């Protein structure tokens, strides 16, 4: 069974919501990433979403754009990111890791080669923002062949027809983008999200994680009432930016924020 599936089944038994932090690999420098991943697990993360830096992050707001830019100062490449996962796996064999990024670095490496390397490194799922299933071609088979879960986005603009198509191709979990907008947008309407989740539940049995717009423990707890997972990105990456010159402080601040979200989700 895939690590992601296993994770959601266990959480379900415990009646818990998955907490999925996102950080950009290599931000603000490559030294921090593996340590930060371990710290996030210790602070209550169930799955880690690791951003692969890209020069043109079209779906991201300023906070994650700048994270990509910081990581690219050190030339953090897709290969480097998989190396980080591999190091993380030396002392963690349970926590699922999902790579989130854009297609071009994967395209340049080649889908098969990428999938093989990702599997070898211990990656569990891949969320590529700019590849809808219609364009996926050999991308999905390549991932499946290496037991990687292809994770897709659903959005407030996705029609029910498209939801069906997308969910047929997806495994692991579904990522529901809670707002029309880029990452880091603030306004999030829990009731509206809840209504949309009801529709999603009509077309799939996969667990649903909600992201884009969860900024603190309160919004995490509110969304956690209606979804199986909450994804927190910009709120954490903001803490990286604020403490960019002090790796220890970054780890401390992100740990604290995650612990408070964890408590809010569990209470």
Among all residues, which ones are annotated catalytic?
49, 60
Least CB distance from residue 132 to another protein, whole Å?
Answer: 6
For residues 127 and 226, give the distance between their C-alpha atoms in angstroms, rounded to a whole number: 22
Give the range of 1-9, 85-93, 176-184, 188-196 binding another protein by CB under 8 A.
176-184
Least CB distance from residue 48 to another protein, whole Å?
Answer: 21
Least CB distance from residue 36 to another protein, whole Å?
Answer: 22
Instruction: Write out the binding residues for another protein, residues 220-259 only, by CB under 8 A.
Output: none
Query: In sequence order, what are the residues at sequence separation of 6 or more whose Cβ sits closer than 8 angstroms to the Cβ of residue 22?
Result: 49, 50, 51, 100, 211, 231, 232, 233, 236, 237
Planar angle of CA 8, 209, 262, nearest 5 degrees: 75
Least CB distance from residue 87 to another protein, whole Å?
Answer: 19
Planar angle of CA 169, 173, 177, nearest 5 degrees: 95
Give the range of 23-31, 41-49, 58-66, 193-201 binding another protein by CB under 8 A.
58-66
Burial class of residue 49, CB neighbours in 10 A (0-12, 13-18, 19+): buried
Q: Give the bridge partners for 231, in sequence order.
A: 20
For residues 11 and 229, give the distance between their C-alpha atoms in angstroms, rounded to a whole number: 10
Give the range of 38-46, 173-181, 232-240, 255-263 binding another protein by CB under 8 A.
173-181
Length of the chain: 267
Assign 122 to helix, strand or coil.
coil
Q: Is 33 in the site for another protein (CB under 8 A)?
A: no
Among 87, 92, 104, 260, binds another protein (CB under 8 A): 104
**Which tokens sit at 160?**
């029910």
Instruction: Write out the binding residues for another protein, residues 60-79 only, by CB under 8 A.
Output: 60-62, 65-66, 69, 72, 75, 77-79
Interface residue list for another protein (CB under 8 A): 54-62, 65-66, 69, 72, 75, 77-79, 102-109, 129-132, 134-135, 152-159, 162, 166, 177, 180-182, 185
């Amino acid at each position: 069974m895939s690590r992601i599936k296993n994770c959601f089944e266990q959480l379900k038994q415990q009646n818990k919501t998955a907490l999925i932090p996102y950080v950009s690999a290599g931000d603000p420098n490559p030294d921090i990433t593996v340590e930060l991943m371990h710290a996030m697990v210790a602070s209550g993360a169930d799955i880690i979403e690791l951003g692969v830096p890209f020069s043109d992050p079209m779906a991201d707001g300023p906070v994650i754009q700048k994270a990509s830019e910081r990581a690219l100062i050190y030339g953090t490449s897709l290969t480097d990111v998989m190396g980080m996962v591999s190091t993380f796996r030396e002392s963690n064999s349970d926590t699922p890791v999902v790579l989130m990024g854009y297609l071009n670095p994967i395209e340049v490496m080649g889908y098969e080669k990428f999938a093989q390397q990702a599997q070898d490194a211990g990656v569990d799922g891949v969320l590529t923002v700019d590849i809808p299933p219609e364009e996926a071609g050999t991308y999905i088979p390549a991932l499946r062949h290496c037991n990687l879960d292809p994770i897709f986005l659903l959005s407030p603009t996705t029609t029910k027809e498209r939801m069906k198509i997308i969910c047929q191709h997806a495994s692991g979990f579904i990522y529901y983008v809670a707002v029309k907008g880029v990452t880091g947008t603030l306004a999030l309407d829990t009731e509206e999200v809840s209504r949309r989740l009801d529709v999603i539940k009509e077309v799939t049995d996969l667990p649903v994680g909600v992201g884009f717009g969860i900024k603190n423990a309160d919004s995490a707890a509110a969304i956690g009432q209606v979804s199986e997972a909450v994804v927190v990105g910009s709120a954490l990456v903001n803490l990286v930016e604020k403490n960019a010159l002090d790796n220890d402080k970054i780890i401390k601040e992100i740990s604290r924020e995650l612990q408070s979200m964890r408590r809010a989700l569990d209470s």
